[in-house]
Amino acid sequence: MSAPRIVTLDGPAGVGKTTLARRVAEALGLAYLDTGAMFRATALALGPGARELPGAGLRARLEGLAFGLEGRGAASALRLNGRPVGEEIRTEQVGMLASDVATLPEVREFLKAAQRAVGRATALVAEGRDMGTVVFPEAAHKFFLDAAPEIRARRRCEQLRALGAPADLDAVTAQIRARDHQDRTRAVAPLRPAEDALVIDTGPLDIDGVFAAIMAALGRS
Ligand code: DC
């Protein structure tokens, strides 16, 4: 069976999309595009004043950002203006800043064009919030992963503790709820499943279980 061209994987913060998208891409021999990383890197590059910029000023700043994707599978690497996008984007503060700039139509239009350009050049597993609904509505294989905020917060705390970092369950649950609210209620491209997406409740499953469900739906089990 030949590999699909575009597989979309959408869902809320902390549901395990990044780990799964990387694994599915590796198994299918496709590139993997983390569009949350594009929003995070854009938020960092624009800085906290992005909201106050007039539309034309914001568009001019965005035109200075050139994204590229190299490699395949687990080795897929996002680059911004020729430099690798690194771990500096992975804090919850940058996640919230990304969620803020993701409400700006200029930012969404700019990144949608950049994401589609990557998709034209390379067969992809694309992970984010609006991959199945807005960016790649024509994709033949769409997945939407979900789980209650408390479950996602508990998993994130376990990850943080495994890294030796402090983790406060109440604080992490509050952060996840705040980001959910902003991502689901924004006017442009809100987080929701595409009508033709397979919705997977990851609550009762571990990563291996979700991976198996996705591969089975792709006819690869
Ligand atoms: O998946 P993530 O946590 O890395 O995403 C960070 C933020 O970026 C998320 O809260 C909302 C925004 N985002 C988006 O609006 N659309 C996407 N396709 C991906 C991310």
Which tokens belong to 163? 């890294």
Identify the three-state secondary structure at position 190.
Answer: coil
Once rounded to an integer, what is the mean pLDDT over residues 123-151?
Answer: 97
Identify which of 42, 129, 182 to mutate to test ligand 1's pocket (most ligand atoms within 8 A of the CB).
129
Going across the sheet that includes 6-10, the strands are 31-34, 124-128, 6-10, 141-146, 198-201
Amino acid 77 reads A
Sign of the four-CA dihedral 96, 88, 6, 156: negative
54 or 211, greater pLDDT: 211
- pLDDT tens digits for range 84-96: 999 999 988 999 9
| Predicted TM-score of the model (pTM) | 0.95
Residue 171 has pLDDT above 70, yes or no: yes
Amino acid 65 reads L
Once rounded to an integer, what is the mean pLDDT over residues 32-58?
Answer: 94
| Ligand 1 atom 2 nearest Cα | 36
Identify the three-state secondary structure at position 8.
Answer: strand
Going across the sheet that includes 67-70, the strands are 67-70, 77-80, 83-84
CATH number for 6-217: choose from 3.90.1010.20, 1.10.150.130, 3.40.50.300, 3.40.1190.20.
3.40.50.300
The pLDDT, as a whole number, for residue 1 is: 61
Residue list, ligand 1 pocket, CB within 6 Å: 13, 35-36, 39-40, 95, 98-99, 102, 128-130, 179, 183
- Ligand 1 atom nearest 17 alpha carbon: 1
The pLDDT, as a whole number, for residue 48 is: 86
3-state secondary structure labels for all residues of 66-104: CEEEECCHHHCEEEECCEECCHHHCCHHHHHHHHHHCCC
Residue 1 alpha carbon to ligand 1 centre in Å: 32
Tell me the average pLDDT of the chain: 95
Once rounded to an integer, what is the mean pLDDT over residues 40-63?
Answer: 94
DSSP state at residue 198: E
- Percentage of the residues of the chain whose pLDDT score is greater than 90: 91
Cα 142 from Cα 100, distance rounded (Å): 25
- Percentage of the residues of the chain whose pLDDT score is greater than 70: 100
Once rounded to an integer, what is the mean pLDDT over residues 24-53?
Answer: 95
For tokens 């198996």, the residue is 212
The pLDDT, as a whole number, for residue 159 is: 86
Identify which of 18, 35, 39 to mutate to test ligand 1's pocket (most ligand atoms within 8 A of the CB).
39
The pLDDT, as a whole number, for residue 106 is: 97
- pLDDT tens digits for range 175-194: 999 999 999 999 999 999 99
Residue 161 has pLDDT above 80, yes or no: yes
* pLDDT band at residue 3 under the 50/70/90 scheme: confident
* pLDDT band at residue 200 under the 50/70/90 scheme: very high
